[in-house]
Each structure stands twice: as structure tokens, then as C-alpha cells.
Amino acid sequence: MPVIPALLTHAGGRPSVEALEARLLAGQTLLADTPEHVLEVVDVLNSYGVVLDAYSKNLIFQAERQFLNPFPVFRFLDGDLSPAKIWRHLNGDRINFEYAEYCMKAMLWHGTGGLDAYLDSEPFAANCTAIIRHKTGRDPLLALLHPLFPNFLPEAIRAAATTHALGQFWRVMSDLFLDLARAEADGTVRNIAEVVAFIKAGLVNAAANPITYGVQLGGERFWVLPPEAGLTFLVDVAVPYVEAVFLRGMPFLGTVSFNAQAQQISPDQAQFAYGALYADPLPTMGAGIPPSLLMQDMYRHLPERLHALYRQRSRGEGDVRVKICMSFQKSMFCVTNAAIDGTFPHALGTAVPAEQAANRAYARAWAERLAVARTDCLDPFGS
């Protein structure tokens, strides 16, 4: 038999925990710095920025205008119920907002950080009671539902709060990624280190942005996430988002199935490793599998420069979504890199031994989680 497979398979690098830790502590980027990587990361984040803009607007629309709607049939239409819009929606000529919902559910389910803690707090329960009392007074269906299933409406409000918070988070990220594309076009960002620094600066700038959420019910305004809860962008939403979507994720039905009874899925949610940084770009492209929806959306808004690069590689248009997924993983490693850089307990250049030890422990914890992720995309030739 001819020995073709060696040419047809490519094994990327697999850096060790120590190597990753050393790079993080030295302030080096995880992703190798090559012109092609810069192009891939900037352009894929550019299309991601456009998609996140749509996701963000829709999530905020859903949380504010479809609040506690038991049958939110038109929630993806952003309030535009014209026949043309409905036709385009039914025809599949649209952004797949289902992916945004998938991310929201991942955040809600994994429930880490300050937002989740607030959703289980007394003040939140009091807000819910007020909202439900007001809502059930006007809505007979909810009035019937609430006494039968008293946890249903509070849980729906938690989902709405997470939806709104994710919408606010993606608003910032969308603008940041589109700014990054402009900065690269201007020549102010030229390499991977500058890409990571740009994202880090954006995250740090927005770190203290308040996360609030109020709804208008019958002319009366109710707070779901009030300003006094003190929720902020970075710690309470961005970090839980990274944990839920980049790292943990959910084992979805795909071309590879998991047997939960055989403990192929860990019973400990914290051990989950199905997030974006762990996703296998190859089998995830089947119809209906959540990340493939994101790749489809990004494909609609792919910059021509990146599209031309993809056309030159392997199957051209045929496997473009696999290539987008691979580039997307590279860009997500940059975002993670920026988030880690921005959240070191102490400055990297510190001379205090205790601070150095704390930084080392922090870098070690991240390196251990990243060592089993798809780090094969980080090499210069891992395209």
C-alpha cells in the first residue's frame, strides 16, 4: 500500500506545563509570532467582532424586550417582524443566535464568579419577588405557572440576567476586536505581542465597568442587577465567561459521542475540558453542533485577505470552517493570554520573593490547564 498518510497528517507541538509556565512568567506570548499568525488572528477577530456585535445586540434585546415571555418565538428577530426579515430568518440567511444562547447557558450552568454568587443572594431573591408579583398580576399564564412551579420564574430571571450580562460583555469585546483590526490596518499593531497587549489594554480599561440590568414592566422600572450589587466587567463577567466558554464548555452531541455512564464525562463540573480552547476543529463541523454555528457566522463576515489565504490552503473553500476554527483557537489563545497577563496577582517584574511565588503559582495553575488544550495550533507551522 502506498505510504500517503504521513504526508496527510500533521501533528502540532505539545508544549509542557513547565514551558507554558515559563512563557507566561517571562511575559512572552503563547502563540508564535509570525506574520501569518498576525493576519489570521486579526482578521478572524475582525469577523468575530462583527458577529459579536450582532450577538450582543440580540442578547440585550432578548433580556429587555422578551423578558419572561413564555413563548419567545420571535426572539432572534430583534423586534423587526417584517415579512422580509422573517423570510430571511426561515431561509437560514441570518446570524446563528443559537450559539450566543449556548454560551449564555454554559455560563449559567457552570456558574462561577461574582455574577453567579449574586444570582443566589438574598437581594436578588427580593428583586425577583417584586418582579414576579408585578408580572403575575398582569399575566394570567404566569400567575397560574408560578404557584405550580415556584422555582421556574426565578430561574428564568437568572437566565435573563446572564443573557444581559453576556450581551454587555460582548459589546465591549466586539468594539475591542474591531478596534484591533483598525489598529493593525493603521500599522500600530504589527506582531502577536502587540495584539496581546492591545487586548489586555482593552480588558484593563473596561475592567471596572459596572454591570447592571433593569427591566421596564408596565411603566415601572425594576432592577435585576442593581448598581449597588457592585458587579464589574472583568471579575464578575469576563472571568466566568472565560471559565465557562473557553475552558469548561459542554460535551455536546457531535460526531464523537461521550458515554457519561462510563465516566467519559467527569462527574466533577470543574474538571470539564470541552471549551473553545479544547475543541477539536475536525469533528465539530457537523450540522447543529454549536461551535460550527459560530464558524458559519464568521464565514459570512470573513475579511477578504484571510479568505484568500484560506483558499490557497488544503481544500480551499471546501474546509473553510475547519480553518476558521483553527484560526479562532489561535485568537482565543491570544485573548486568554491577555486575560492571564492582566490578572497576575503582582507585576511580572516584581523583586519581592513572596510576590514572585504568588505569580508563579498563578502561572502554574493556568499552564496546567492549558497544557491539555489544543496547543498544537500555537506553533509557527500549525496552520
Partner 1 sequence: MLSLLLLIPFLGAFVLLLSPSNPPPGRMRAIAITTLALQLLWSLRVLLAFDPHQGGMQLQDSLSWVPMIGLDYRLGIDGLSLPLVLMNGALTLVSAVCTRDISQRPRIYFALLLLISGAVNGAFLAENLLLFFLFYELELIPLWLLISIWGGTERAYAATKFLIFTAISGVLILGAFLGLALFTGTVDFSLTPIVSERLSMGSQLVLLVSLLIGFGIKIPLVPFHTWLPDAHTQASSPVSVLLAGVLLKLGTYGLLRFCLGLFPQAWALVAPWLAIWAAVSVLYGSLAAIAQRDMKRMVAYSSVGHMGMILLAAAAATPVSLLGAVFQMVSHGLISALLFLLVGIVYRKTGTRDLEVLRGLLNPERGLPFTGTLMILGVMASAGLPGMAGFISEFLVFRGSIGVFPLATLLCMLGSGLTAVYFLLLVNRAYFGRMAITPPSEDPSADARLDIRLSGVALRETLPALGISLAVVGLGLVPAGLGWLSETTATAMAELPALLLAASHGGLG
* Footprint on this chain of partner 1 (rule: CB under 8 A): 1-6, 8-12, 14, 255-256, 280-283, 285-287, 314-315, 318-322, 326, 372, 374, 376, 382
According to DSSP, the residues that pair with 216 across neighbouring strands are 221
Smallest gap from Cβ 228 to partner 1, in A, equals 47
User: Which three cell numbers, joined as nine digits, stand for 2?
Assistant: 502506498
Nearer to partner 1, 16 or 314 (CB): 314
Smallest gap from Cβ 131 to partner 1, in A, equals 45
Please report the sign of the dihedral spanned by the C-alpha atoms of residue 100, residue 342, residue 361, residue 111.
Answer: negative
For residues 158 and 241, give the distance between their C-alpha atoms in angstroms, rounded to a whole number. Answer: 15
Smallest gap from Cβ 223 to partner 1, in A, equals 46
**What's the CA angle centered on 189, arms 199 and 193, to 5 degrees?**
60
Smallest gap from Cβ 285 to partner 1, in A, equals 5
User: Amino acid identity, residue 366?
Assistant: W
Nearer to partner 1, 142 or 373 (CB): 373
Smallest gap from Cβ 257 to partner 1, in A, equals 9
Smallest gap from Cβ 20 to partner 1, in A, equals 16
CB 146 within 8 A of CB 152: yes
Nearer to partner 1, 12 or 342 (CB): 12
Burial label, 185 (beta-carbon count in 10 A; 0-12, 13-18, 19+): exposed
CB 276 within 8 A of CB 328: yes
Smallest gap from Cβ 17 to partner 1, in A, equals 14
Provide φ and ψ at 120, rounded to 5°. -105, 10
How far is CA 344 from its chain centroid?
21
Run of H or E including 216: strand 213-217
Nearer to partner 1, 4 or 351 (CB): 4
Write down how long the chain is.
383
Nearer to partner 1, 205 or 257 (CB): 257
According to DSSP, the residues that pair with 220 across neighbouring strands are 217
CB 324 within 8 A of CB 309: no
Nearer to partner 1, 215 or 285 (CB): 285
According to DSSP, the residues that pair with 222 across neighbouring strands are 215
Smallest gap from Cβ 195 to partner 1, in A, equals 23
For residues 232 and 361, give the distance between their C-alpha atoms in angstroms, rounded to a whole number. Answer: 25
